[in-house]
Structure 1
C-alpha cells in the first residue's frame, strides 16, 4: 500500500482505501482516502488556475492578432477559450471514478486516464504531460528573463538619454530566476503553496491591467486604429510580408494562443487540493468558470488593444514594446510583476513533475535514509516544512538543467508557440473527450460521437499546423543566434 504524507503530492497506483485512523478522526486530520486533510477552496483553486493560465502567453497576443487581423484573431481566441472550458468540464468529472462525486480519487492526470481508458494510453499521456510541463518551465524561464532585460534596457535608455545603445544578455537574469526557483522548489507540494499562487495571480492581473491601460493610451495617442481585417499586408508597403512568411507567422500565432490556454495539464492536480464538502466537482467547475472567464476577458482586450496600439508592428512581447516610453517606471513595474508571477506559475507546473519522480524513487528504494529521511524547518508565514535531502538535490538539479536549456534557446514567440502546439490537442482535447465518451458510453458513429471526433480532429490539425509554424520560427532564429552571446 502506498501512503501519501506531507512530502508526497501524488501516487501513481490505485488510490488506497480509507485507513482506520481516517475514520477515527474524519474531521480533524484525514480525508476519506486516509490522506492528510485537504484545505483548498474555490478561491485557492481559482488562484491556481489564473496563475497557470495567465502566463507569458498573454504577452504574445497582440503580435498574434497582428498576424491574423481583426476578424480571425478574436474568433480563434474565442474558439480556444470555449474548447478549453468545455473539455475542462469533461476532465473535472474524471477526478473520481467511477462516480464523479463518491468514487475513488484520481490524484493525477495519468490516474484519470488509467481509470477511464486503461493502461495502454497511460504512458502516452504521461510522456506528453510531463514533457509539456518541463517545456513550460523552460518557456517561463525565457519570459521572466526577457522581462527583466526590458527593465534593464529601459532604465539604461533613460539614464543615458538615448545617446548610447543599450543591449544586454538575458543569461544573468535566467540564472537569478533559476536560483529563486531552487528555493521555492523546496515547497513540498501543491497543498503548501496556495499563498504563492495567490501572490502570482495578483501579479498577473496587475501586469495584464497595466498592459491594457498603456495600450489604450497609445491607441488614443495614435489617433487611428489599424483597419486591416486580415492582419499584416502582403500586397506591398512598409509592413509588407511575403505570403509564405505570413502563413508561417499565422501558424506560429496559433501556437501562441494555444499556449495561453495550456492549463489542463495541471487541472486534476489542482482539483486534488480541494476540501470536501462541497464536492470537488462542484467547486472545480465554479473555479474553472471564474478562471477561464477572467483570463479570456484579459486576453481578448489585451490582444485587441495591443493590436490597436501597435498595428502591424506589434511586438512579440507586448510590454517590451513600451520599453522606451513614459511612464517607464510603470512599465518596469509591470515587467517586475511578470517576473514575480512566473516564479509562482513555474511551481504550479513543476510540482506534479516533482511528485512523479519522487514517488517513483521512493518505491524503488523504500529503505534509503537519503530518500526518506525528513528534517523539519520552520519558516515564518509558511510554517513548518519537512525538508528532504533527495528532494532538495533532485529539484535543484532539475531547475539548473531547465535554466541551462532556456539559455540555449531564448526565442520567445517560437518557443511559446511550440509548447502550446505540443500540449494543447492531447491534454486539452483528446484525452478529456475520450474519457467523456467512455464515461457516457457514447456509441461509435452516433451523431454525438461524430461531432466530438470532428472537434478532436480539428484541434489536432490546428496543433500540427501551429507546431510546424513554430519550428520554422526556431530554425529562422537559429540563423542569427550565438549561444550565450546574443544580446537584446
Structure 2
C-alpha cells in the first residue's frame, strides 16, 4: 500500500507500508496518515519560535508611543485576544465531532470547510498579501541590521567622531541576491534545517536586546519614560504614533495563520487535539507575553521617550560593539530563513496553479536534472527559476522604495490582525458550534470582532500616516542614513 502525505505547500511525500503495518493502527491515524507524535510542549515550542522574531525589536518604541500605563495594558489586551481567538480556532481543526470529525490540515482548509465561497478567496488574498508584505519587511529589517554592523564598527574605530553615513540599497540588493539562491530550493520540507537555524538566531538577538536593556537601566540607576509616553510632538504625530504602535504590537503576536498547521502535528486522542492545542496556546502566549514585556519594558526603561524604532539598530547601544555585531548578524541569519519560511507557501501556490493551468507546457512542468558532485541531482525547473527570481527582485525593489521598518511592521500587523486572528476564527466557531443568532454568546463574539475591526482600521490609518510622513523626507535610491 502507498500512503501519500500532503506537505504544507501541497507537495506530496509518499510512504510505502506493509500489510501488517496497515492492520496495526499504531502506525496510522484515523485519516490514514503516518501517526502524529506532537504534544502540547512541542506545539507550544513551534508557536514560540514562530512568534518571537523581528516584531520584538519594535516593542520598546511602541511602548514609548503609549507610555507606562497604556503600553503594558495594550500588550496584555492583544495577548488575551490572541489567546481567546486561538482557542476558538482550535475547535475548528475537526469538523463537528472534536474526536472523530474530518480533519482540516491548513488554515485555508478550515475556512473552506466552515465558510466556503467568497470568504475562502478573501482569506487567500489576505494571507498571500501578508506574505508579500512580510518579505518586504524582512528585506528592510535585514538591510538595517547589516548597516548597523558596519556602523557600529565605524563608530568604534572613530571613537564616535565619524557620523558613518551610508546608503541602504546595496545591503538590500545583497539580501535579495542571497534569497534568489535560497528560493531555488524546490520544497518547503527541504528547509527544516534553515528553520532550526532561524529559530536559534531569533532567541539569540532577542536575549541580547533584553540583556542590553537591563544593563542600560542598571547603568542609569533609574527607569526612564513617562506615564503618557512621547509628549514633545504635535497632537497629530502623537495620534499617528500611538495608532501605529497598535499595529506593531499586533504584528508581534500574529500566529493564527500557522496554528492549524501546528495543531496537525499533535498526536490523536485522547485527549482531543483541540484540548492539547489549547494548552499549547496558553503556554506559548504566557511565555511570549512575559518575554515581550521584559524586552519592551526594559527597552523603554533604558531609553525612555527616545526609544529607537529598532532596539538593536537605533544606536541607543554603542558598546559592547562586538555583542551588537553578534545580535545584528543573528537578525540577518534569522531573516534569511524566515523569508523562505513565509515565501514558500506563496511559491507553491503559484506553481501548483500554473501547472494545472498549463499542463502541457514544458517551460512550466519540465525538470532538467543537473548533476551536483556529492549530492543528488538538482531538478531545475525553468518556470520556478524565472518566477521566484522575479518575485525576489520585485520585493527587493519595493523595499528600496519603502525602507521604513516600523511603518511596514505596523501596517502588516494592522492589516492581518482582524481578519486572520479575529474575524475568521469567530465566524467559524459560531458555525462549528451552531451558536444561535442574537444569543448572548453570539452578541459577545460579534462585539469582540467589531472592537478588533475598529482597532485594525485605526492602526492601519496610523501606519499609512507614518509612511506618508516618512516619504515626505525620503528620496528613493538617494537618501543616506
Same fold judged by TM-score > 0.5?
Answer: yes
**Does the alignment pair 1:9 with 2:2?**
no
SS in 2 for 1:96: coil
SS in 2 for 1:405: helix
Gaps spanning 5+ residues in structure 1: where?
234-239
Superposed displacement of residue 218, structure 1: 0.8
Task: Work out whether residues 429 and 456 of structure 1, in 8 Å CA contact, stay in contact via their aligned partners in 2.
Answer: yes
Q: 2:193 aligns with which of 192, 195, 200?
A: 195
Task: Work out whether residues 256 and 413 of structure 1, in 8 Å CA contact, stay in contact via their aligned partners in 2.
Answer: yes
Q: Which moved more, 1:361-370 or 1:280-289?
A: 280-289
Task: Work out whether residues 62 and 307 of structure 1, in 8 Å CA contact, stay in contact via their aligned partners in 2.
Answer: yes
Superposed displacement of residue 145, structure 1: 0.9
Q: Which moved more, 1:387-396 or 1:211-220?
A: 387-396
**Does the alignment pair 1:456 with 2:454?**
no
Superposed displacement of residue 282, structure 1: 5.3
1:111 aligned residue: 109
Q: 2:397 aligns with which of 382, 404, 409?
A: 404
| Count of residue correspondences | 474
Q: 1:95 aligns with which of 90, 93, 96?
A: 93
1:122 aligned residue: 120
**Does the alignment pair 1:256 with 2:248?**
yes
1:142 aligned residue: 140
**Does the alignment pair 1:223 with 2:216?**
no
Distance 1:477 1:311, change over 3 A: same
Distance across 1 between alignment mates of 2:469 and 2:236: 14
Q: 2:307 aligns with which of 298, 301, 314?
A: 314
2:59 aligned residue: 61
Q: Which moved more, 1:159-168 or 1:466-475?
A: 159-168
**Does the alignment pair 1:446 with 2:439?**
yes
- Cα deviations by residue, 1:178-213 (Å, 9 ceiling, x for unpaired): 222223333444433333222211111111111111
1:394 aligned residue: 387
- Cα deviations by residue, 1:404-425 (Å, 9 ceiling, x for unpaired): 1111100111111111110100
1:237 aligned residue: none
- Cα deviations by residue, 1:54-93 (Å, 9 ceiling, x for unpaired): 2221111101111111111111111111211221222233
Superposed displacement of residue 432, structure 1: 0.4
**Does the alignment pair 1:331 with 2:324?**
yes
Distance across 1 between alignment mates of 2:317 and 2:133: 31
Distance 1:114 1:200, change over 3 A: same
SS in 2 for 1:226: coil
Distance across 2 between alignment mates of 1:367 and 1:251: 51
TM-score by structure 1 length?
0.87
SS in 2 for 1:461: helix
Distance across 1 between alignment mates of 2:173 and 2:243: 31
Gaps spanning 5+ residues in structure 2: where?
none
Q: How does 1:418-437 map to 2 (within 5 A)?
A: 418-437=411-430
Q: Which moved more, 1:286-295 or 1:357-366?
A: 286-295
Superposed displacement of residue 287, structure 1: 4.2
Superposed displacement of residue 312, structure 1: 0.6
- Cα deviations by residue, 1:290-311 (Å, 9 ceiling, x for unpaired): 4333322221111100110000
Superposed displacement of residue 118, structure 1: 2.2
Distance 1:23 1:364, change over 3 A: farther
Superposed displacement of residue 342, structure 1: 1.4
Q: 2:168 aligns with which of 164, 167, 170?
A: 170
TM-score by structure 2 length?
0.88
Task: Work out whether residues 188 and 385 of structure 1, in 8 Å CA contact, stay in contact via their aligned partners in 2.
Answer: no
- Cα deviations by residue, 1:208-248 (Å, 9 ceiling, x for unpaired): 11111111111111122135211123xxxxxx122222111
Distance across 2 between alignment mates of 1:323 and 1:382: 46
SS in 1 for 2:122: helix
SS in 1 for 2:223: coil
- Cα deviations by residue, 1:412-462 (Å, 9 ceiling, x for unpaired): 111111111101000000000110111111111111111111111111111
Task: Work out whether residues 8 and 345 of structure 2, in 8 Å CA contact, stay in contact via their aligned partners in 1.
Answer: no
Q: 2:76 aligns with which of 72, 78, 85?
A: 78
Distance across 1 between alignment mates of 2:266 and 2:382: 29
Distance across 2 between alignment mates of 1:317 and 1:373: 45
Distance across 1 between alignment mates of 2:263 and 2:392: 25
Task: Work out whether residues 62 and 318 of structure 1, in 8 Å CA contact, stay in contact via their aligned partners in 2.
Answer: yes
Superposed displacement of residue 396, structure 1: 2.3
Superposed displacement of residue 335, structure 1: 0.9
SS in 1 for 2:458: helix
* Two-structure CA RMSD over aligned residues (Å): 3.2
Superposed displacement of residue 6, structure 1: 7.7
Distance across 2 between alignment mates of 1:466 and 1:107: 31
